Amino acid sequence: MKSTLPEQTLGQSDLRVSRIALGCMGLAGTWNPAEVGDENRRKAIASFEAALEAGITFFDHADIYGGTACESIFKDCLKAVPGSRERIVIATKFGIRSGYYDHSPEHIRASIRGSLDRLGIEYVDLYQIHRPDPLSHPRETARVLDELVDQGLVRHIGVSNYYPHQTLALQKYLKAPIVSNQISISLLRLDPIYEGAAGPSRPTGPGGDGVLDQCLEFAITPLAYSPVGGGWLTGRREVPADNPRKETIDRTLASLREMSAAYGGATPTQLATAWLLAHPAGIIPLVGSNNPEHIREAAGAARISLSRTDWYKLWVAARGERVP
């Protein structure tokens, strides 16, 4: 039976997307396209179908995922579920090459053509710059991205791993609004929540990058990769004794587990994801799994409404200190 998830508008766009998205980095099950076989395709299609049944309508790719195999195998997913292209939002990213970043006009044009061919689609709903390229002027990058929008190959533009002033520099030259910023954020990476690094006005305490404040100011939707801290907050992995963050992980997991009963037996994954969903910036967590059971589990977080006191309890546990 197909479920529905709460939806939201993606930034300043006309796109409506589910509050949980599927991050497709592991969809092919390999980083070597030559290794993709029938079993890889079967698992990818099963994951895609599980996501659709869970109510997920937003799928995030990058041209480097699986060494291009993840985009290619997604074409098989779309074929396996007729009519699915029209019901979903497809995002992908460009800009990372082997050992360096590349925002050159010729690379951007080649990248979008390659992604469209592999995905088997005529346009991408959201085209994202994977990481900033220090050797590219934002004027040139913006000019080519606007060109792709004008040509109908791309509907909307987003960025990934951009700090606030990098986003502002690109937006200065870009006609299209930047609708999203894909960042690493979780209870184990709190930097985007804070307004800036510690300094004279705040000599102690955690540093930050202010990304979520900028998202709120400019109606940019944050897309959260590694929403459960690279898997540590699922509670399914033993934390090695020599892990430098073991104390933080154990303390945060203990708080998540303690809270479970109050939310109908919700799992650590669901509560850690619900913690992100509660932020007013409208964070969309990217579920990075090709396991149907784990996809369904994560999607359940969208139906959890954390209380304000519980949200702060988890924040304090992750910080390792009380709020000032």
Q: Which residues are catalytic?
A: 65
Condensed to tens digits (0 to 9), the pLDDT of residues 202-249 reads 333 445 899 999 999 999 999 999 999 999 999 999 999 999 999 999
**Phi, then psi, of 195 in degrees rounded to 5:** -80, -15
Q: What is the pTM of this model?
A: 0.95
Q: Are 272 and 227 in contact (CB under 8 A)?
A: yes
Tokens 């709120």 sit on residue: 216
**pLDDT > 70 fraction of the chain, expressed in percent and rounded:** 96
Q: What is the domain partition of the chain in residue ranges?
A: 7-237+267-305
Condensed to tens digits (0 to 9), the pLDDT of residues 253-266 reads 999 999 999 999 99
Condensed to tens digits (0 to 9), the pLDDT of residues 109-167 reads 999 999 999 999 999 999 999 999 999 999 999 999 999 999 999 999 999 999 999 99
Asked if the model's pLDDT at residue 294 lies above 70, the reply is yes
Asked if the model's pLDDT at residue 324 lies above 90, the reply is no
Q: What is the pLDDT of residue 197?
A: 47
Q: Which CATH class is domain 7-237+267-305?
A: alpha beta
b/e per residue 132-152 (b: at least 16 CB within 10 A): bbeebebeebbebbbebbeee
Condensed to tens digits (0 to 9), the pLDDT of residues 152-201 reads 999 999 999 999 999 999 999 999 999 999 999 999 999 999 865 443 33
Residue of 205 and 277 predicted with greater confidence: 277
- Determine the Cα angle at 211 with ends 137 and 51, to 5°: 100
